[in-house]
Chain A
Amino acid sequence: MPGLNADSATGVLHRGWSATVDDYAIAGGWSRRGETLVVADAAGGVHAFDGKSGASAWTGHVAHDGGALAMAIHPTANTFATAGQDGRVLLWGVADGQVQKAIDVGKGWVENVAWSPDSRWLAASSSRQVRAYDADCREVWRTDDHPSTVSAISWSRAGELATACYGRVAFFAASTGKLRQTLEWKGSLVSMALSPDGDVVACGSQDNSVHFWRRSTEEDSMMSGYTGKPSALVFDDTGTLLATSGSHCVTVWSFQGSGPEGSRPGILDLHIQPVTTLAFARRKLRLASGGRDGGVVVWSLRRNGEGGPIGAAVVADVVSELYWRPDGRALAALDARGGVTVWRVR
């Protein structure tokens, strides 16, 4: 987006701080109260920054041989988990950067890691298998092989873990790992989002569509018309809106009334290259989008999915991830050049 840079952020975005990590910034997150931002990079390093000043708090270089792939912040404790190409999950203390536990998940890459919302379980996927661990990182159960490599995992509030792969979404009981439901569809599912009540499962598909199911009725629908694969999908925390990538626009489907079937989505058009990542602020219909163009845009949305930009900035390379601070008053962007940029949001 021409005419913009990180220094001249506009609208609700105001210059905060910036820092760099060793390589492509792959995943990150704000600590529970927002005092620290942690970031993992493609060289396998894990870094912590003071949330207010951006000063480096600590760094763990090459924690994951081959590179980090995913991160999950603990919902209640001051810890977080990282996963990497070395086949391991590491549990870190936010404050001191000490690795408290190391889990050998398997031989393959560990591509997904997630805490259950009640913080009792940690799930990790490697190749075709998903394993669940308890709070002490002891394995509780593991799934049989999925039909293909697991592309996404997500806990629902109902004590279940959802997994997506080529051809299906499956639900496993959190405490036992028992398979409860499968929703099948012939297509490669590359991303997944669960509505907060757990009823709607939305998946981005390799064939440039979004497929979703209502679990209660097992009805499914397909939303097509995307120019690329929708690899970023997010629900707002009321479950009203589903924002999706898959082109240079953000496409927002509204679940109010009888939608989104038969309704027109909101189209948010400001990026000049494909959207790469999306994040809703908590308790607000406020969405942040990042793109291959390095653009970061904050949108204010209405319940019908329409909306407009209220702030924008540009970082040095492809935006890989965006994270709202839990209080919604700061936004962090990670980029492909290892840049970490934080804006205050007013």
Chain B
Amino acid sequence: MNVPSKVPVSILTGFLGSGKTTLLNRILSEEHGKRIAVIENEFGEVGIDQALVIDADEEIFEMSNGCICCTVRGDLIRVLGNLMKRRDKFDYVLVETTGLADPGPVAQTFFMDDEIRAEFSLDGIVTLVDAAHIEQQLGRSDESTEQVAFADVLVLNKTDLVNDEALDRLEARLREMNRMAQVVRSERADVPVDTVLNLDAFNLDDVLERRPTFLEPEYPFEWTGVYSLGVGRFELSLADGPDPAMSLVVVPHQEPDDAALREGAEWCVRRYAEPAQLIVPGEEIPVGKHVNLKLDSPGRKSFTLVVDVPLRVGLYAQHTAEEFDLQLKDAQGATIEPEAERTWVAQHEHDDEVGSIAIETDGDVDAERLNAWLGRLLRERGVDIFRMKGFISLAGESRRFVFQGVHMLFDGQPDRPWGDSPRRNQLVFIGRNLDEENMRQGFEACLV
């Protein structure tokens, strides 16, 4: 028997008026030669010849165990179950949900039902957002929040009705809620079809290619410069900048390589948690302490740094060197260039309950401990975890283990061999009120 490949399924969600039908019609008219089946829950105005459009009543089935994570869409199981029997099988299935639909049961259907799982794979969840109205909707309804949280792609539609500044603010808010999703802007749902279909949303690599920083932790500082200093007094000066003060930690014995910088960053996070000592211009900056440089007087302000033995220091600053034109000079007035520099993803205020957590570490994971940890996490917090995906380096396994999940449902398998690439782990969780520190520690305890 041959094993036919699974038919990809995309789910289109979004509130009424967000442009779902427009996008659907666009996909159907552009994807010539593909046999696409569309399952709709409300009468739209889809009228394309080659597509089979099936109207199904939304039927949400809960299980006897009362677990919301086991809720599935009965209508989809029936319709898809019959679709897969056709010899002229479909290349693609699009499921358009009603505006008020909770995307959970739709997505869960592709994990929960053994027969559907054998024939179909969930390619991705595309959520359309009406740029002019989403902010009110987010405040009022759980459904719109969840539609954003579940998305692999967020189409920020009707951008012509909103000014650029508001759009940027909105996009930042949506990204904060769902760091995993790709955000595309459009006026009349006119997005390239390949940004919403065939996403292979399982594949975290693509996400990383688009936004390499998205897995990185956030820090209370934005910039680090590493300087190699001899014995003596040095002048650290800053010009006028955006703020009347700036936090800083001077880390002694800072090596310039990336691993050492990350290590220094972790150490600094703890210093930054301590109360800052206020330093006025002319004063000496203590090494290894959280200080707050007072910068509210006009003109260039100077501070002193004293070095007793030659060493490298890392300046971990709240703002980039550029913003204040930060300069370091020796006693002779010669400018010292940093040996290494890097910027960090700065922390944001989290207004929404829904947010994303990313965990990235090197090292191999013990499968049993991982199972136990993930099992407990999903049992206890599954209701609040909307989506997760990532890959893991399992001890003793020559291939990457990739996974994705919806609520407490989890699907994973080995994919390509690690080969020469460094073995590491990347996990992303999107959920409500997630405890980042706790989850990070839990995962790190699974490392061999």
Contact surface of A with B, Cβ cutoff 8 Å: 22-24, 26, 42-43, 67, 69, 85, 109, 111, 127-128, 148-149, 151, 166, 185-188, 205-207, 209, 222, 227-229, 231, 274, 292-294, 316-317, 320, 336, 338
Q: Are A187 and B113 in contact (CB under 8 A)?
A: no
Q: Please, which residues of chain A bring their CB within 8 A of the CB of B34? A: none
Alpha-carbon gap, A154 to B201, bound state (A): 43
Interface size class for chain B? 20 to 34
Q: Please, which residues of chain A bring their CB within 8 A of the CB of B77? A: 206
Alpha-carbon gap, A231 to B118, bound state (A): 15
Q: Are B65 and A207 in contact (CB under 8 A)?
A: yes
The yes or no answer to B11 lying at the interface (CB within 8 A) is no
Q: Are B72 and A274 in contact (CB under 8 A)?
A: no
4 new A-B contacts, CB < 8 A, other than A24-B86, A111-B78, are A67-B85, A186-B64, A187-B63, A229-B113
Q: Are A67 and B64 in contact (CB under 8 A)?
A: no
CB < 8 Å neighbour of B87 from A43, A188, A294: A43
CB < 8 Å neighbour of B115 from A67, A127, A166, A228: A228
The yes or no answer to B42 lying at the interface (CB within 8 A) is no
Interface digits, B111-150 against A, CB 8 Å rule (1 contact, 0 not)? 0111100100000000000000000000000000000000
Contacts A186-B62, A187-B63 given; indicate if A24 touches B85 (C-beta within 8 A): yes
The yes or no answer to B5 lying at the interface (CB within 8 A) is no
Alpha-carbon gap, A128 to B74, bound state (A): 13
Pick 8 A–B contacts, CB within 8 A, sort by A. Answer: A23-B87, A85-B82, A149-B75, A166-B61, A206-B72, A274-B114, A317-B1, A338-B87
Contacts A207-B63, A316-B1 given; indicate if A149 touches B85 (C-beta within 8 A): no
Contacts A187-B63, A227-B114, A294-B1 given; indicate if A149 touches B57 (C-beta within 8 A): yes
Q: Are A228 and B114 in contact (CB under 8 A)?
A: yes
CB distance from B111 to the nearest CB of A (A): 13
The yes or no answer to B59 lying at the interface (CB within 8 A) is yes
CB-CB nearest in chain A for B75: A149
Alpha-carbon gap, A103 to B125, bound state (A): 40
Q: Are B85 and A336 in contact (CB under 8 A)?
A: yes
Interface digits, B363-402 against A, CB 8 Å rule (1 contact, 0 not)? 0000000000000000000000000000000000000000
Q: Please, which residues of chain A bring their CB within 8 A of the CB of B285? A: none
CB distance from B438 to the nearest CB of A (A): 31
Q: Please, which residues of chain B bring their CB within 8 A of the CB of A67? A: 82, 85-86
The yes or no answer to B70 lying at the interface (CB within 8 A) is yes
CB-CB nearest in chain B for A231: B115
Alpha-carbon gap, A166 to B1, bound state (A): 34
CB distance from A7 to the nearest CB of B (A): 16
Q: Please, which residues of chain B bring their CB within 8 A of the CB of A185? A: 64
Q: Please, which residues of chain B bring their CB within 8 A of the CB of A85? A: 82
Contacts A23-B86, A23-B87 given; indicate if A206 touches B63 (C-beta within 8 A): yes
Q: Are A188 and B74 in contact (CB under 8 A)?
A: yes
Alpha-carbon gap, A292 to B78, bound state (A): 18
Q: Please, which residues of chain B bring their CB within 8 A of the CB of A151? A: 78
Q: Please, which residues of chain B bring their CB within 8 A of the CB of A186? A: 62-64, 66
Contacts A26-B85, A109-B82 given; indicate if A229 touches B59 (C-beta within 8 A): no
Interface digits, B76-92 against A, CB 8 Å rule (1 contact, 0 not)? 01100010011100000
Q: Are A166 and B114 in contact (CB under 8 A)?
A: no
Q: Please, which residues of chain A bring their CB within 8 A of the CB of B115? A: 228-229, 231
Q: Are A149 and B114 in contact (CB under 8 A)?
A: no
CB-CB nearest in chain A for B52: A66
CB-CB nearest in chain B for A205: B64
Alpha-carbon gap, A228 to B70, bound state (A): 14
CB < 8 Å neighbour of A188 from B61, B85, B114: B61
CB-CB nearest in chain B for A292: B118
Q: Please, which residues of chain A bring their CB within 8 A of the CB of B86? A: 23-24, 42-43, 67
Specify which of B57, B61, B66, B118 lies most central, judged by the most chain A CB atoms within 10 Å of its CB: B61
Alpha-carbon gap, A22 to B85, bound state (A): 12
Contacts A166-B74, A293-B1 given; indicate if A148 touches B85 (C-beta within 8 A): no
